[in-house]
Amino acid sequence: MELMSHSSTFLLPNPSADNGPALTYALVVLNRRLPRFTPLLWKHAQLRMCADGGANRLYDELPLLFPEEDALAIRKRYKPDVIKGDMDSIREDVLVFYKNLGTEIVDASHDQDSTDLHKCVAYVQNLPSLKNQNICILVAGALGGRFDHEVGNINVLCRFSSMRIVLLSDDCLIQLLPSSHHHELHILSAVEGPHCGLVPIGGPSKSSTTTGLEWNLTNTEMRFGGLISTSNIVKEKIVTVQSDTDLLWTISIKKA
């Protein structure tokens, strides 16, 4: 089975070539409080998108991360390439501001069967300029707030299981480890950990095995209503995971 390597190099100001796979990043900003490291994610991304009301967050909250600088200058510097969604949350003044700066506005209000994050991921997936590139989508503000929104965001991981997508908040990240691969997670202890977890998603796991954790799994069965690996601890620089079902990997993000 093919090995898939993972590393949270997007949390490093200047990642080196040996920190993990070479990836092309796309950033999607959702309508939740911006993580404090959003400017760092922005720096790494080649495409920056807001999902509907995420544009309000970018407009209102990003200047707060630069209290010594002029708010208008910050808003102009951090101009999204695209705003996409059903347009029921974005304020008119914010829409006009970014439209006048040249941001592409994609109204997908005709589609009420998918979330704004789903719409943005589909946009990235089908973008000709990113075709044949090893894409990783970073989703800022994906966790916290309404539980149904969180579940919807996790569902997007499952709907696009062949894509690298990382859900981020100030406190942690979540990504899918598909059962089609063995996984090698390169832990950046300066910015993440030690708390972590592995959760079977979509169905029980009859056999999951790990190395590099305080409490490793050895052909362990996991399921809701039974055992799931929460409050585990990273012990090694590399954690390996293999399972007969898709797992969610989550790890804490350290405060600066």
CA distances from 35 to 32, 42, 85, 119 (A): 9, 11, 21, 22
pLDDT at 163: 93
pLDDT at 88: 87
SS3 12: coil
> What is the CATH number assigned to the segment(s) 172-256?
2.60.120.320
9: its two tokens: 């190099």
First CA to last CA distance, the chain: 38
pTM equals 0.94
Domain limits, the chain: 21-170, 172-256
pLDDT, mean of each 10-residue run, the chain (256 residues): 92 75 91 95 96 96 96 96 91 96 88 83 88 91 89 94 95 96 95 96 94 96 94 96 96 91
Instruction: Tell me the pairing of strands 24-29 and 45-51.
Output: parallel
pLDDT at 20: 63
Greatest extent of the chain over all pairs of C-alpha atoms, in Å: 56
Q: Could you identify the residue written with the tokens 């079902």?
A: 245
pLDDT at 239: 98
Topology (CATH) of 21-170: Rossmann fold (3.40.50)
